[in-house]
């Protein structure tokens, strides 16, 4: 059974006490990225607007480490959502499905601009046992600026338990 997620609900909203730097709602200094499921295309998407303090040292160029972080965090959420769908479970249902990054390879294709929305798209290419291979790309509205391939490994720990208790 496939379950569609509402397109207006961010995947990260299921764990409001999460403290992840990239996507945790409870991290006051975090990036607060929001990933959404695109059922028609079977992938997750997100937008982000880089600020002047995300600068790489050149005018209007986003720091590459931030681009990599965005791909990393967004891709893990794509793996989580995809796995819930494959298991026919409501998104966020217990026990929570959790992944951690095992490998991240980023190719920078063009400078990623600041002060304008960029789009991230992530699709699970392979799901085998505990391992998910995800392809993610960054687009600035005119061109792809980065591509990433992420290997994420599912862990048994239900991290939503710690989050619910404020320990995430």
State both tokens at 17: 């006490």
Question: Region 39-45: what's the mean pLDDT?
Answer: 95
47-90 tens-digit pLDDT: 999 999 999 999 999 999 999 999 999 999 999 999 999 999 99
Average pLDDT, rounded, for the chain: 91
Q: What is the pLDDT confidence band of residue 165, given thresholds at 50, 70 and 90? A: very low
Percent of the chain at pLDDT > 90 equals 81
| Residue in this structure with the two tokens 């990393």, named with its chain if needed | 72
Residue 121 preceded by cis peptide, ω within 30 = no
- Taking 50 as the threshold, does the pLDDT of residue 163 lie above it? no
Across-strand partners of 35? 46
- Taking 60 as the threshold, does the pLDDT of residue 161 lie above it? no
CA distance 48 to 119: 7
What confidence score (pLDDT) does residue 5 get? Answer: 63
CA-based end-to-end distance of the chain: 31
- Taking 60 as the threshold, does the pLDDT of residue 167 lie above it? no
- Give the SS3 label for residue 11: helix
CATH architecture of 38-157: Roll (3.10)
């Amino acid at each position: 059974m496939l379950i569609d997620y509402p397109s207006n609900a961010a995947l990260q909203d299921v764990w409001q006490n999460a403290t992840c730097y990239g996507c945790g709602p409870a991290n006051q200094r975090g990036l607060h990225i929001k990933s959404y499921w695109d059922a028609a295309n079977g992938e997750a998407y997100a937008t982000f607007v880089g600020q002047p303090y995300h600068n790489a040292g050149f005018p209007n160029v986003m720091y590459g480490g931030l681009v990599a972080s965005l791909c990393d965090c967004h891709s893990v959420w794509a793996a989580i959502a995809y796995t819930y769908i494959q298991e026919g479970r409501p998104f966020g249902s217990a026990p929570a499905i959790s992944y951690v990054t095992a490998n991240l390879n980023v190719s920078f294709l063009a400078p990623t601009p600041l002060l304008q929305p960029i789009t991230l798209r992530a699709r699970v290419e392979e799901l085998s046992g505990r391992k998910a291979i995800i392809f993610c790309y960054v687009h600035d509205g005119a061109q792809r600026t980065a591509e990433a391939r992420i290997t994420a490994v599912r862990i048994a720990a239900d991290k939503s338990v710690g989050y619910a208790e404020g320990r995430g």
